[in-house]
Amino acid sequence: MFNDLLKNPLLWITLTLGFYLLASKLKEKWPSNPLFTPLAFTMIVIIAILLIFNIPLETYQSGGKYFSLFITPATVSLAISLEKNFDYLRRYFPAILSGIFLGVLFHTILIYLFAVVFHFDKKMVITLIPKSITTAIAVGVSDSLGGIVSLTVGIVIITGVIGAVIGPAVLKTFGVVDPVAQGIALGSSAHAIGTSRAIEMGEVQGAMSGLAIVVTGVMIVALAPIAVKFAEFII
């Protein structure tokens, strides 16, 4: 009977939603505690359950896979917020574009640095390059260039969760208070997961973060083949 229960998709859908709502309530009570970031909290608890009870990921995916269906419409829906704040885009377009480009450049340089320090091979560099873009685009980049797609997906998720958890604290530490800058920083470094945190911070932050997802994705798709070629001279 227990095995039949585990195979029921409704169990995993209910648990996932339940832990997410619980984290949301805890976040309202203790807003400064990064552990209660809903997405991070839910992932940690679900992973802990799977490990403690030795439940295969495939069993969870019987219900968890349905959440993936909402990734694309959720990303597209960010355009609504962007349209409402289009004046910010028009006013700060050069700064936004240059900021995102510098973010992509810095992230690529860090990957080269890690490749040298930890002796990564070319495949590992390719796997890491799309780490800061949304999963759907990252999978295509990694697969087309010969990376390890499953590892890319894991790194993308980890990057997003870390960005959403510590991003606001980092912005506060460095005195970044402009809502446009905050949104661009979260979107270009932590993609959709960071954008969910940006939306909590404010409408402008959410709109700019959604824009940063798109522009960062386009830039990395265009520059990734060049970055991989350049990596061959370093590693």
Structure tokens given for 60:
């969870």
- Asked if the model's pLDDT at residue 32 lies above 80, the reply is no
Residue 39: band (very low, low, confident or very high) from pLDDT cuts 50, 70, 90: confident
0.85 surpassed by pTM: no
For 137, how many CA atoms within 13 A lie in the half-sphere containing its CB?
20
Q: Output the 3-class SS for 123-159.
A: HHHHHHHHHHCCHHHHHHHHHHHCCCHHHHHHHHHHH
State pLDDT tens for residues 81-126: 666 667 777 888 888 889 889 888 998 999 999 888 988 888 899 9
CB atoms within 10 A of CB 49: 14
Residue 49 identity: I
Tens of pLDDT, residue by residue over 4-15, are: 677 788 888 999
As a whole-number percent, the residues of the chain with pLDDT over 90 amount to 14
Helices 149-173 and 135-145, axial angle in degrees (round to 10): 130
- What's the pLDDT score for residue 85? 66
| Cα-trace Rg, the chain | 19
Decide if 235 contacts 210 (C-beta within 8 A).
Answer: no
More confident site: 39 or 24:
24
